[in-house]
Amino acid sequence: MKILFYDTKSYDKESFEAKAKDYPDIQIEYLKSELVPSTAKLAKGYDAICAFVSSDVGTETIDVLSACGVKLILMRCAGFNNVDVEKATACGIKVMRVPGYSPEAVAEHAMALALAATRRIHKAYVRVRENDFSLGGMQGVNFYRKTAGIVGTGKIGAAMARICHGFGMNVIAYDKYQNPALDFVKYVSLDELLAQSDLISLHCPLMDETYHMINRESIRKMKDGVILVNTSRGGLVKTEDLIEGIRARKFFAVGLDVYEEEKKNVFEDRSDEIMETSVTARLLSFPNVIITSHQGFFTYEALDAISETTLNNAMAFTKGERTGNEVEIE
């Protein structure tokens, strides 16, 4: 099988090359170019392409991939909201993903964001480097005996729930499907979670029903001084309403690893650019907000798991086997 990788970073190539020697039937070529309709034509002659969460795997791109003879789209990530699965299915192209590469990596990053934003670690780091050891504006809050609200208790949400429980927090959750392994969690309605939580952490997929679930109305239902963390998908939060809530001092702290504007920012160095109309720049202007560049997954263990699962998916496809990692129309 010949696979063309798009939007390849040095760490992607290093991780996959280390695993590829165990898969002699797979040939991989790496491109730095992102996957968009105009670059999809480069896949001619390949059996599969490998894309990421920031790739454009929409209708037009899939049309080009289909014309090139591609039969498999390998997503080296859990999310697939950027993939037109219906179009791919109609074109006879299978879509496979990596659903659980390292839920603990993302959950640990979520807690890191919550702690760093709440205890103003980002401000302290800058101050001390300038020999400023004052404590003004640095006061935080305890998590112990506070209430953590987990929205979505799949693998990542469950890992975050366990972390919060370990901090001595009361853990409540909202999910259509309760996780029986979380016997210490009390499931409540979304409105109850919003009203009761001191820390709200989002771990649900981005779908029509969850798009902008954090908006002016839902923010109004939250406690004053709430802490919000999002390591799931940027579209879960309506950014303009979040900014309005921050300005109204509704939030004690906000930690974001994903955000609506990230597509053109994620994994790119834009330090020499002026982002004149950027909502991201506006968010970064607030002292109680921390933003990271979609790095929740980014650990050695997670990259190793992503590489292995992606290559296993490719091999299973060639053998006509199912892995449970197929993305299919419900």
Catalytic residues: 233, 262, 294
Q: How far apart are CA 158 and CA 10, in angstroms?
A: 31
Q: What is the DSSP letter of 192?
A: H
Three-class DSSP category at 92: coil
State the Cα–Cα distance between residues 66 and 322, nearest whole angstrom. 22
- H/E stretch holding 62: helix 59-67
Distances (CA, A) of 327 to 45, 146, 253: 24, 38, 35
* 256 φ, ψ (degrees, to nearest 5): -125, 125
* Number of C-beta neighbours around residue 89 at 10 A: 15
DSSP code at position 214: B
CB 232 within 8 A of CB 258: yes
**292-317 core/surface letters (b: 16 or more CB in 10 A; e: else):** bebebbbbeebbebbbbbbbbbbebb
Each as own residue / partner, the long-range contacts of residues 80-84 (CB below 8 Å, 24 or more positions apart, any chain) are 80/327, 81/205, 81/206, 81/207, 81/233, 81/235, 82/53, 82/54, 82/55, 82/56, 82/57, 82/58, 83/51, 83/57, 83/58, 83/327, 84/57, 84/58, 84/59
